Amino acid sequence: MADLLKDSYGRAIRDLRISLTDRCNFRCFYCLPHGEPPIAPKAQMLSYEEIEYAAEIFVSLGIEKIRLTGGEPMMRRDIETIIRKLSALKPRLRDLALTTNGYFLPGRAHELKAAGLDRITISIDSLKRETFRRMTGVDVLDRVLEGMEAAKRARLTPLKVNAVIVRGHNEEEVTDFAQFAREHDIRMRFIEFMPLDSGHEWSREMVVPGREILERIGARFPLVSVNARRGAETSSRYRFADGAPGEIGIIAPVTEPFCGACSRIRLTADGQIRTCLFSTVEHSLRDTIRSGASRREIIGYIESVVMKKEPRHYINDPGFMQPARTMSFIGG
Ligand code: SAM
């Protein structure tokens, strides 16, 4: 096909992450520790009609996977409508997923499935009540675990669970998480702490390298790689050698960058395209759409923005500058 999105390094762009809101009901210390940042006024946020229009254009340009994120995407009241609209883009859209803190899932998981959501990823940083509270700022581990069960019952599977592993907080728990993955048949993904926190507390010493996480788990549960040639996937994935259910994924953007195969692009809740998590510039698709541009002009704009996609992130370079917006704005 002629009009598939490619950047100037020849990388095909297939994966779009849409942040539905910059608001969140959690206060994770590695993301948004000091409460609400100034929230963009509602008029600046994309409406569901604008999200639908933009997504339809992106899918016509070869986007195959859309992940809804935030902030906490389930804080957006029209999330079921958005899912229903985006689901109409299948089968060209092959995969519609959601990343959530799980708080609102009890009682609502079935609605998400009925609206057309395929899969869900839930963030759970600790299985211990006190550590969970310390890391997320809220004492709601039981409710999140209930949300996980609701997602399973609604068949929003395969279920993924994300844990950001931070030195001095939860690195001792990685084998407990592996056990949890085996017991609940979960794709457990361990994420290195990235410099995207609004508190600017990130330091290299706090990063637990993916390699260390893998070694700790492998010492207790021998693992077998399932995607040695992982292409554009963010995680290196492993199954348990003894055949137990569940899977382990390691996401190591700090110590083992995987930018060369990046197929991702992001749209913030206020309609800015970000070509990298660590971009220091954004491109206003919202203003382009609202200016009355034709579909052809919007496509031209998206193509020109994608050509500006950075070759790689610069976390490990001496002059690295943390982006002004944090993960809660960008959409993790
Ligand atoms: N609120 C939803 C949630 O909790 O999953 C979706 C948005 S959240 C920003 C998406 C993912 O980004 C979560 O798994 C979160 O743990 C991760 N995240 C946030 N800040 C991070 C950081 N500084 N380093 C690594 N991962 C981070």
The tens-digit pLDDT sequence of the chain (332 residues) is 446 899 999 999 999 999 999 999 999 999 988 876 667 788 999 999 999 999 999 999 999 999 999 999 999 999 999 999 999 999 999 999 999 999 999 999 999 999 999 999 999 999 999 999 999 999 999 999 999 999 999 999 999 999 999 999 999 999 999 999 999 999 999 999 999 888 888 999 999 999 999 999 999 999 999 988 777 888 999 999 999 999 999 999 999 988 999 999 999 999 999 999 999 899 999 999 999 999 999 999 999 999 999 999 988 888 888 887 778 777 77
C-beta 275 within 6 A of ligand 1: no
pLDDT of residue 36: 65
Distance from the alpha carbon of residue 170 to the mean position of ligand 1, in angstroms: 15
Cβ of residue 70 lying under 6 Å from some atom of ligand 1: yes
Nearest residue (CA) to ligand 1, atom 12: 332
Distance between Cα 68 and ligand 1 center (Å): 12
Residue holding tokens 């569901």?
Answer: 48
pLDDT at position 38 is 63
- Smallest Cα–Cα separation from 122: which of 93, 160, 89? 160
Cα separation, 173 vs 176, whole angstroms = 5
Verify whether ligand 1 is closer than 6 Å to residue 123 (CB atom). yes
- The letter for the amino acid at 211 is R
Whether the bond into 91 is cis, omega within 30 of 0 = yes
Residue 29 — φ and ψ, nearest 5°?
-65, -20
270 and 40 in contact (C-beta within 8 Å)?
yes
Sheet holding 187-192, edge to edge: 223-225, 236-240, 247-251, 187-192, 160-165, 119-123, 95-100, 65-69, 15-19, 264-267, 272-274, 283-284
Whole-structure pTM value:
0.96
Nearest to 79 by CA among 68, 88, 90, 95: 68
State the pLDDT at residue 2: 47
- Residue from 327, 328, 329 to probe ligand 1 pocket by mutation (most atoms less than 8 Å from CB): 327
Partner residues linked to 69 by β-bridges: 19
Q: Which of these, 276, 233, 279, 225, lies nearest to 252 by C-alpha position?
A: 233
Give me 33's structure tokens. Answer: 């520790």
C-alpha of residue 31 to centroid of ligand 1, in Å? 7
HSE of 248 in the Cβ direction (CA atoms, 13 Å)?
30
Q: Is the CB of 24 under 6 A from ligand 1?
A: yes
Angle at 144 between CA 85 and CA 26, to 5 degrees: 80
How high is the pLDDT of residue 121?
98
